[in-house]
Amino acid sequence: MKRTNQMNLKILLPTRIYIDSVVNKLIAEGPQGSFCLLPNHIDYTEVVVPGILVCYPPEKNPYYVAVDEGILVKKRDEIFVSVFDAVKSDNLEKLEKVLDQKYKRLDAKEKKSRSAIAMLEGGIIKKFQETLS
């Protein structure tokens, strides 16, 4: 397999592709805490919790994306992050406020519903990956 030092990142919302860019590194947050994806990392699937993605494009300053719950899939040199909502900014302080106001104040019922949907999505994506392998 060809080794590369870049990954294609797509952040998918229910109605559109929010971000389609190239990154050298991505830091995200899952149920067990933060994790980092680098080029040539093994294929990986993880539930994403409300938090801030740190995206490192080649030869540029990092940018930040506040995301709602969803699922992340890394397959070869592509990363797909499917979430309900996302907000991009270069201002980390602004995003922390957005994160607190928009995503962390969901009521318990909505959290359970979204968690169940994310787990179903994860199972479907895993089965899909297994059929492609």
CATH number of the domain within which 47 lies: 2.60.15.10
Tally of structural domains, the chain: 1
Task: State whether the Cα torsion 42-10-93-61 is positive or negative.
Answer: positive
Neighbours of 18 (CB within 10 A): 17
Position 81 in a domain:
yes
Cβ atoms of residues 45 and 130 within 8 Å: no
The CA distance from 76 to 2, in Å, is 10
Global pTM?
A: 0.74
Position 87 in a domain:
yes
Position 25 in a domain:
yes
In this prediction, residues 90-117 reach a mean pLDDT of 74
| Mean model confidence pLDDT for the chain | 87
102 three-state secondary structure: helix
**Using one digit for the tens of pLDDT, what is the confidence trace for 7-30?**
999 999 999 999 999 999 999 999
Position 1 in a domain:
no
